[in-house]
Amino acid sequence: MFSRTLGAAAALVAMMLGSAELPAQSIWQSDRSVALTAENDAFGGSSDSSYTNGIHVRWAFMSWNTRLNQVANVLSLRGLLDRIPPEFASDRTCSLVGGRSDRPCGFISFSVGQTMYTPSTLFDTLPRPTERPYAGMAFVTLGLHKPGRRLSASTELLLGVIGPSSGSEATQSLAHWTWSTTSEKPQGWRNQLRNRPQLGIINTYAFRPPDHIAGIPFPGEFCLKGCDGAYKDGRVFDLTATGELALGTHMRRASAGYIARLGIGMPDVPAVNLIPTTGIDPSRIARGLWQWIEKYQPWFFILYRQEGRHVWYNAFLEGTPADIGGGGWRDITGITPRRNLGETTRGFSVGIAALIVTYQKVLRSTEYTTDG
């Protein structure tokens, strides 16, 4: 089953990239960025419980063409979204050439990551039916992203595995035996959710309202020199509505909320982790502070995000079909997932020409109740 799923996913990715007719060197010659996101409850002073660790590395390439544009419109439902009134639609002119100055219609990304969840204590060697189970997932994604002046849409196709094959036990054990030597040594990973391949599609949307709504001024963004998307604008603040639709074998949920950013010089793409930046030009040598700024285009912002979420299915709480029978998690669980959740995120992001580092702390409402 796992090998067949891998083969089907690989064929899908090959078909998409092949149909896009991308030249072999076009991706590597395009402007690009690397985004590193690390999440751990230790950063916020918490103990190992619930969502305990996650790391995600994304490579974004400012490479695009008409066929990728068509695929992205279908997968992200952007074609339907473009039917909304013109004053709310994307008003940015774009080019299929690539490069920041051309305002490209989109960019592609590849990412790899791992997430893990644990109960409140790591001492027990037996399952804890009244708490969430040990669970980990390793995954890779292929993303198609369409930034817009008002409306941005992104689609990520996910291939992963939940269970021992995710390597989550080894990751947490290594962390506790090295830099976090005072933490409890995890003893219950033998009870983690069983191996199960995962496939999914995750659509995210960001919408920045126009300057005026029904004739009433709306301060959705502020820049030092006019907000038209260039680094020299000196973007200071923006407020963006956000949404997400995730459909997969591991998660089915819909979310809506907003994000506020305050900083200096940050890109105008209204999202947290989907920020293309200009590649370093080695022919330009930084001489003095202003030359360094011109070359590397540094930026910084702090963020605050509120989100409401409805979750139809969460494999990390409910288990997968592999956890049925033989004392699996679905046989012994004593918890009931909450379907409506709230989430608050605070953090910051720092970037230069080809590197982004983001720190964020997430506070989420109670995800489940205990039966009985």
Residue 276 and residue 299 in contact, taking contact as beta carbons nearer than 8 Å: no
> Pick the residue with more confidence: 8 or 156?
156
Residue 62 and residue 107 in contact, taking contact as beta carbons nearer than 8 Å: yes
Residue 85 has pLDDT above 70, yes or no: no
Residues 6+ apart with CB under 8 A from 249: 196, 197, 198, 199, 200, 315, 320
| Banded model confidence at residue 2, pLDDT cuts 50, 70, 90 | very low
For tokens 């013109």, what's the residue? 86
Range name among 184-193, 199-208, 230-239, 284-293 with the lowest pLDDT average: 284-293
What's the Cα-to-Cα distance from 286 to each of 35, 201, 234, 247, 300, rounded to whole Å? 23, 42, 20, 46, 20
Residue 97 has pLDDT above 50, yes or no: no
SS3 content of the chain, % helix, strand, coil (to 5): 25, 40, 35
Range name among 33-47, 244-258, 281-295, 347-361 with the lowest pLDDT average: 281-295
Residue 6 has pLDDT above 60, yes or no: no
Long-range contacts of 209-214 (CB under 8 A, 24+ apart): 209/88, 209/150, 209/241, 210/87, 210/88, 210/150
Of all residues in the chain, the percent with pLDDT exceeding 90 is 34
* Cα gap 7→368, rounded to integer Å: 35
Nearest to residue 353, comparing CAs of 297, 293, 287?
297
* Cα gap 330→318, rounded to integer Å: 7
Helices (H), the chain: 2-19, 26-29, 66-75, 78-81, 168-177, 289-296, 315-318, 329-332
Q: What is the domain partition of the chain in residue ranges?
A: 2-370
Interval 173-182 mean pLDDT: 61
The correct answer on CATH 3.30.70.260 for the domain covering 2-370 is no
Of all residues in the chain, the percent with pLDDT exceeding 70 is 68
pLDDT recorded at residue 61: 83
Residue 295 and residue 279 in contact, taking contact as beta carbons nearer than 8 Å: no
Interval 171-187 mean pLDDT: 67
pLDDT recorded at residue 26: 57
Q: What are phi and psi of 41, to 5 degrees?
A: -65, -20
Range name among 58-72, 92-106, 167-181, 347-361 with the lowest pLDDT average: 92-106
Residue 337 has pLDDT above 70, yes or no: yes
Range name among 42-51, 74-83, 273-282 with the lowest pLDDT average: 273-282
Range name among 52-66, 73-87, 101-115, 240-254 with the lowest pLDDT average: 73-87
Residue range 258-293, pLDDT digits in tens: 999 999 888 776 554 443 333 344 444 444 666 666
> Pick the residue with more confidence: 240 or 219?
240
Helical packing angle, 66-75 and 2-19, nearest 10°: 130
For tokens 């409506």, what's the residue? 340
| Banded model confidence at residue 143, pLDDT cuts 50, 70, 90 | very high
| Banded model confidence at residue 354, pLDDT cuts 50, 70, 90 | low
Give the number of other Cβ atoms within 10 Å of residue 167's Cβ.
Answer: 16
Structure tokens at 234: 């000196």
Nearest to residue 319, comparing CAs of 327, 64, 60, 274?
327
* Cα gap 12→6, rounded to integer Å: 10
How confident is the prediction for the chain on average, in pLDDT? 77
**The model's pTM:** 0.80
Range name among 87-96, 218-227, 313-322, 327-336 with the lowest pLDDT average: 87-96
Range name among 19-33, 70-84, 221-235, 261-275 with the lowest pLDDT average: 19-33
Amino acid at 67: R
Interval 127-143 mean pLDDT: 94
Structure tokens at 22: 């991308």
* Cα gap 267→184, rounded to integer Å: 41
Residue 206 has pLDDT above 60, yes or no: yes
- Angle, CA of 357, 359 and 365, to the nearest 5°: 150
